[in-house]
Chain A
Amino acid sequence: AQKVTQAQTEISVVEKEDVTLDCVYETRDTTYYLFWYKQPPSGELVFLIRRNSFDEQNEISGRYSWNFQKSTSSFNFTITASQVVDSAVYFCALSEADTGTASKLTFGTGTRLQVTL
C-alpha cells in the first residue's frame, strides 16, 4: 500500500524567510511519480511539480525548489524568500507508474503555510 506523510501540520513564517515543507513516502513500486500541489483558500488544487522515481535530480523553478532523495524516501519542497501569496495548504502526493493507464494519487494530509508581513 502507498502512504504519504507530511508531519508538519502548520508552519508560520515571516515574509522573505525560507521555508521547507517535508514529505516522506512509502511504496512497494519500483517506478512511481511524486507530486506537489498547492491549495489556496479558493479550494482548487494547483499542480506544481511531478518527479519520476528514476530521476533524482533536484529541481529549481524560480523561488521553488525540490529535493528528492530516494535513499530516505523523501521529496521535500523549499520556498525561498517566501511571500504572502504563498500562503496555502501544500500537498505531497504519490502515484504508481507501472500501469498502462494513469493511476490515482495518494495524498498526504497537507501542510498549511501561513506567511505574514
Chain B
Amino acid sequence: EAEVAQSPRYKITEKSQAVAFWCDPISGHATLYWYRQILGQGPELLVQFQDESVVDDSQLPKDRFSAERLKGVDSTLKIQPAELGDSAMYLCASSPRTSGRRYEQYFGPGTRLTVT
C-alpha cells in the first residue's frame, strides 16, 4: 500500500540553526499539506499546496518558515532560524485528485523536532 514518506523521523537542533524537512506524498496525489502538532494538541495546518501552487499559508510564520513544492510532487519545509517554541511534530499529508476522495487525507509518520 502506498504511503506518505517523510524524513528525517527525528531531528535535534540548536536554536538559531536552520532545519529542513522533506515529504514525498502518495504518487498522483495533487494536494499536499504540512501540519504542526505541539505535544498534547491536535495538528494545525501550516501550508497547503495544490500541485505546485500554495492554496493556504495563512498560519505559516513567514518570517522564519518557508515551504516549496517546485515540481508538484515532493515538498520541503524549512525553518530558519529555529526557536525553542518550534519543538513539535511536523506532519505531512496528501489527498487524491479524484473528486470523490479528495477530502481524505493520508498522513506520513512525521518528523519530531526538538530545539535546544
With both chains docked as a complex, state the minimum distance between the C-beta of A66 and any C-beta of chain B, in angstroms.
15
Q: Which residue of A lies closest to B91 (CB)?
A: A45
Q: A43-B112, A44-B109, A47-B104 are in contact. Are A104 and B48 (CB under 8 A)?
A: yes
B25 on the A face (CB < 8 A): no
Task: Point out the residues of chain B lying under 8 angstroms from A43, CB to CB.
Answer: 89, 109-110, 112
Q: Are A105 and B108 in contact (CB under 8 A)?
A: no
Q: Are B50 and A47 in contact (CB under 8 A)?
A: no
- The A contact surface, by secondary structure, is loop
Task: Point out the residues of chain B lying under 8 angstroms from A97, CB to CB.
Answer: 103
The interface size of chain A toward B, counting residues with CB under 8 Å, comes to 23
Task: Point out the residues of chain B lying under 8 angstroms from A93, CB to CB.
Answer: 42
B residues 67-114 in Cβ contact with A at 8 Å: 89, 91, 93, 95, 102-110, 112
| Bound: A4/B44 CA distance, A | 12
| Bound: A43/B43 CA distance, A | 11
| Bound: A112/B73 CA distance, A | 34
The interface size of chain B toward A, counting residues with CB under 8 Å, comes to 27
A residues 11-25 in Cβ contact with B at 8 Å: none
Task: Point out the residues of chain A lying under 8 angstroms from B110, CB to CB.
Answer: 43-44
Q: Are A101 and B43 in contact (CB under 8 A)?
A: no
Task: Point out the residues of chain B lying under 8 angstroms from A105, CB to CB.
Answer: 35, 43, 45, 105
Task: Point out the residues of chain B lying under 8 angstroms from A4, CB to CB.
Answer: 42
| Bound: A103/B108 CA distance, A | 18
A70 on the B face (CB < 8 A): no
| Bound: A109/B91 CA distance, A | 16
Give B contacts to A, CB under 8 Å. Answer: 31, 33, 35, 40-45, 48, 50, 55-56, 89, 91, 93, 95, 102-110, 112
Give A contacts to B, CB under 8 Å. Answer: 4, 33, 37, 42-47, 50, 91, 93, 95, 97, 101-105, 107-110
> Can you list 11 A-B pairs, Cβ within 8 angstroms, ordered by A?
A37-B107, A43-B109, A45-B43, A47-B107, A50-B104, A93-B42, A101-B50, A102-B50, A103-B103, A104-B45, A107-B44
